[in-house]
Amino acid sequence: MLLCNAQQGSKILIQANKASLDRDYKKAFNLYTDYIQINTNDFRGYFNRGTSAYNAKNYSSAIQDFTKTLQLNPIFMEAYYFRGQSFYHSKKYKAAISDYSYGLSKKPNNSSFLKLRADAYAASGQKDSALIDLNNAIATDKLSGDLYKRRAELKIKLNDIEGSLKDYNAVEKLIPSYKMVHYIKGKLYIQIKEIDFACEEFEKALKHKVVVADQLNEEYCSSH
């Protein structure tokens, strides 16, 4: 009987994993449910069903499954990651911060957890705490253009325009394909009344076919 259950469970798991890869998350969710009925104490069944719910944006169901995963395996970091994300998307920022903080207690320099906790801090209005996390994330991963971009956006909210410009300079070097950076930098230069620099950035943006730069270029630079 046990062997039969094991064979049946393995067969269901293969089908569930295939459905998940095919992005048929409803089918995957149902198949993982069948697997759990056979293997009630296997944390992987709950985790996989949780990721299916998460990918389907059913965050309340995902939270339940990730919580069960952690009851069965309290040190499974991926469950903290995805439960934190589920809390974040549910706008339960305090709970998200708690999960990310647990992950960071085990891996203090994990830039992914630092980045996510920074997002949760910022969304909950704790911008200074978000900035600390992004500073630490960048210290760990100095070549991540995404981290500099996130910090630049946060610095705008903190009214640190010059600091934001410095970060966007790093973004320009680290993500050459991100052409909107010139338009954004141009707008920031206008805020600090550096019109010549703004016009240079708008010109670069227009060369890269960033058409939204045309209006500000016309307004500030045509007769400049």
Segments making up each domain of the chain, as ranges: 1-90
Q: What is the pLDDT of residues 176-191, one digit of tens each?
A: 999 999 999 999 999 9
Q: Is 135 left (phi over 0), alpha (psi -120 to 50) or beta?
A: alpha
Q: What share of the chain is helix, strand, coil (3-state, %, to 5)?
A: 80, 0, 20
The full DSSP string for 173-204 is HH-TT-THHHHHHHHHHHHTT-HHHHHHHHHH
DSSP conformational letter for 108: T
Q: What is the pLDDT of residues 134-147, one digit of tens each?
A: 999 999 999 999 99
Instruction: Give the pLDDT band of residue 2 (cuts 50, 70, 90).
Output: very low
Interior CA angle at 102 toward 98 and 108, to 5°? 125
Q: Using alpha carbons only, how large is the chain's radius of gyration in Å?
A: 23
Long-range residue pairs from 152-158, CB within 8 A, at least 24 positions apart, any chain: 154/118, 154/122, 154/127, 154/130, 155/131, 156/188, 157/122, 157/127, 158/127, 158/128, 158/131
Instruction: Give the pLDDT band of residue 3 (cuts 50, 70, 90).
Output: very low
Nearest CA-CA partner of 123 in 103, 153, 163, 161: 153
Domain 1-90 sits in which CATH superfamily?
Answer: Tetratricopeptide repeat domain (1.25.40.10)
Q: Is the pTM of this model over 0.75?
A: yes
Q: Which helix (H) or strand (E) holds 82?
A: helix 77-89
Q: What is the pLDDT of residues 77-121, one digit of tens each?
A: 999 999 999 999 999 999 999 999 999 999 999 999 999 999 999
